[in-house]
Amino acid sequence: MEIPETKLFQELFYTHYPTVRRKLIALVRDEAAAEDLAQEVFLRLYRNPPDDLNVVGAWLHRVLTRIGYDHLNKKSR
């Protein structure tokens, strides 16, 4: 499903950004990196949203976890 309306995306962003950012800070232990990764999470939401927007919170959690662990793996190499 596409997110056709900019207003809808803005609403989702402002609702979920603080939680996504907080979880990424806890995961990667770097506030600046967490903010960059949070932007990546929402870019993925914008480009490829879930089919059912009722599960957007779980979708965001799954994506932020993957992005966070990818970041940690790259950092450890």
Please tell me the distance from the alpha carbon of residue 58 to that of residue 49, in angstroms, as a whole number: 12
pLDDT tens digit sequence for 9-62: 899 999 999 999 999 999 999 999 999 999 999 999 999 999 998 999 999 999
pTM to 2 decimal places: 0.89
pLDDT of residue 77: 86
User: What is the reported pLDDT for 53?
Assistant: 87
pLDDT value at position 62? 97
Rounded CA-CA distance 8/30 in Å is 29
